[in-house]
Structure 1
Amino acid sequence: MKKNLVLFVLFVLPIVAYLFFASGINSFSKLPTVTAKVPDFPASWKALDGKPVSLDKKITVLGFGGKKVLENRGNIFNLNQKIYQRYHEFKDLQFVTICPEGTQQDVQAIVKAIGAISDTRHWSFVFAKEDEINAYFQTLKLKGKLNDDLGTDHVYIIDKERNLRGRKDPKEYKEGYSTFHPSELSNEMLDDFKIILYEYRAALKKNNSYLRNQKRNVEE
C-alpha cells in the first residue's frame, strides 16, 4: 500500500498537476478587450524631446501622471522596478505617461532619477492641455476616473491594435493596475502582461512559419 502511494506521489501526481496548470494557461491565453480601438494621441501632443508619440503597432503601458506627478513619483518607480526593467528590451513595447502642460520640469527630474538605474529609451512622457487629457480619458470608457489633479495611480495595457485589455469577469474585473501597490504589479499585472506578450510571440512564430512555407512553395 505504501509502495503504491509513493509511486502515485512520484509519478502520477506531477502529471495531473501539469495537466491542470496547462489547461489553466490555455484558458487564459487571451486577455479580454475592455475597450476596443481607443483613439491614438493627437498630433499636437509631444514628448520631452518634442517628438509625437503613437499607440499604433506598439504594446503600450499607459499612465496619467497628473499635475502632482513629482509628488507621486513613487508610483512610477514601482512600475519601473516591477514591470519596465523586466521587459523594456522588448522592441515593440513602450511605456507612456500623459502629463499636463507645465509639468515638464518635474518630469525631467523623474526621468533623470529613473535614468540612473534604468534605460529610459522606451519610456515617454507626453504633455497635453488639461481639457484634452480629460477628453482623452473619457474615450477609454473606463469605470475608474482621474483625480482632481488629472492623474491616477492606475496604468492600462493597450495592444498593438489599440485595444485596451484587462479582465472582464465580474468576479475579478480589472481594467487597470494600481502602481501604488507593488504586489498588484508583481501579481495581477505581471500575469496579464505575460499573456499579451505570449499572444504576440505566438502570432509572430505563426507568421514566420507561414512565410517560410510560402518561400518553400515558391522555390519548389
Structure 2
Amino acid sequence: MKKAFVLIVLFVLPIVAYLFFASGIHNFGQLPIITENISDVSAVDSAVTFKDKITILGFLGNNVDFKKGNALNLNQKIYKDFHKFDDFQFVMMMPKGTETNVETLKKELSELVEIDKWKFVFGDPNQIQFIFSSLKTDLKLDENYSTPYVFIIDKDSALRGRNQDEEHETIYGFDATSVAELTNKMIDDVRILLAEYRRALKKNNKIEKSDG
C-alpha cells in the first residue's frame, strides 16, 4: 500500500495538477492585448470591417498559388472549427490583380466547408502595408506583400497574442506553414478569446436580468 501511495504522489498527482491548471487557463484566462487600435480594413474595402468581429487576418501576397498551402492549413485547422460562431471571420489582404487566382483558391477552400466567412480584400501595396504596419509587430511583409503569419484581431480592433511564450518571446502571430503551430498554439488562443467573449456575454445577461 505504501508503494502504491508513493507512486500516486510521484506520478498521478502532477498529471492531475497539470490538467487542472491547463483547464483553468482556457476557462478563466484572457488573451493578452499586444497592439491596440489596428487600422480598420474598412479603409480599403467598406464592405469589410474588424469592428465587432473576431478576425483572423492574413496577407497572402501576389503569388496566391505559392501561399495556397497556408490557406488550406488555416481552413482545415482553424476555420473549420470556428466558422459557425456568428462574429468570427477570416480576412485576407490581397494585392489588386490577384482576383482570378483568389477565385480558384476559394473553390478549393469550399471543398471542405462553407467559406462565407472568408473575406478577401484587394488593395494597392500602400494600403496593404498600411494595415500591416498598424499591427506594430517585429515581422515584415516580403517583396510580394505576403507573410506566412496570421494574426488574431479582437472586436475592438486590437491585436491579441502572447506576451511571453515558452521561448520567452512575444508572439504576435502564427505561422500558417506549420500545422503543429496552428494545432498546438493558435487553436488554443482562439478558444481563449471566444471564451472571454462568452463570459462577458453571460455577465451582461445576468446584469440585464437583475436590472429587470
- For normalisation by structure 1, the TM-score amounts to 0.86
95-104 or 201-210, which moves further after superposition? 201-210
User: In structure 1, the residue corresponding to 2:92 is in which secondary structure?
Assistant: strand
CA RMSD of aligned residues (A): 2.2
Residue type of the partner of 2:8? Answer: V
For 1:20 and 1:76, locate their aligned partners in 2 and report how far apart those are by CA, in whole Å. Answer: 33
Q: For residue 9 of structure 1, what is the aligned residue in structure 2?
A: 8
Aligned to 2:149: 154
Cα distance change on mapping 1:166 and 1:84 into 2, 3 Å:
same
Question: SS of 1:148's equivalent?
Answer: coil
**SS of 2:41 mapped into structure 1:** coil
SS at match of 1:189: helix
Name 1:129's counterpart in structure 2: 124
Percent of pairs with identical residues: 37
- Cα displacement (A) at 1:205: 1.1
Distance in 1, matches of 2:24 and 2:111, equals 39
DSSP 3-state at the match of 2:203: helix
Moved more, 189-198 or 22-31: 22-31
Indicate if the aligned counterparts of 2:38 and 2:131 stay in contact, CA closer than 8 A: no
Q: Deviations over 1:143-174 (max 9, x none)?
A: 01111100011100000011100011270421
Q: Relative to 1, partners in 2 of residues 1:4 and 1:68: Cα closer, same or farther, differing over 3 Å?
A: closer
Q: Deviations over 1:80-130 (max 9, x none)?
A: 000100110000100000000000000000011111221001110100001
Partner of 1:71: 66
The alpha-carbon distance between structure 1 residues 150 and 161, as it changes in their structure 2 partners (threshold 3 A), is same
Establish whether residue 61 from structure 1 lines up as the match of residue 59 from structure 2.
no
User: Normalising by the residue count of structure 2, what TM-score does the alignment of the two structures yield?
Assistant: 0.89
Output the CA distance in 2 between the equivalents of 1:211 and 1:39: 33
Paired position in structure 2 for 1:105: 100
Could you say which residue in structure 2 is the equivalent of 1:177? 174
Distance 1:109 1:4, change over 3 A: closer
Question: What residue in structure 1 maps to residue 202 of structure 2?
Answer: 205
The answer on 1:41 being equivalent to 2:36 is no
**Contact map agreement 2:54 2:155 (CA 8 A) in 1:** yes
The equivalent of 2:31 in structure 1 is 31
Residue 61 of structure 1, CA deviation: 0.3
Distance 1:146 1:59 in 2: 23
- 8 Å Cα contact 2:38/2:158 also seen in 1: yes
Q: d(CA) in 1 for partners of 2:169 and 2:18?
A: 21
After TM superposition, the runs of 4+ consecutive aligned structure 1 residues lying more than 6 A away are: none
Structure 1 residues 113 and 25: CA distance shift in structure 2, 3 A = same
Distance of 2:4 and 2:59 partners within structure 1: 59
Q: Which amino acid aligns with 2:38?
A: V
Counterpart of 1:194 (choices 169, 191, 196) is: 191
CA shift digits 1:147-206 (9 cap, x unpaired): 110001110000001110001127042100001010100011011111101101111111
Q: Is the 8 A contact 2:58 2:151 kept in 1?
A: yes
Specify the code of the residue in structure 2 equivalent to 1:176: G
Whichever of the two has the greater Rg, that structure is 1
Counterparts of 1:80 and 1:161, CA distance in 2: 24
Q: C-alpha separation between the residues in 1 aligned to 2:115 and 2:25?
A: 34
Any idea what SS the aligned residue of 1:72 has?
helix
Maintained 8 Å contact 2:40/2:131: no
Worse-matched range after superposition: 149-158 or 115-124: 115-124
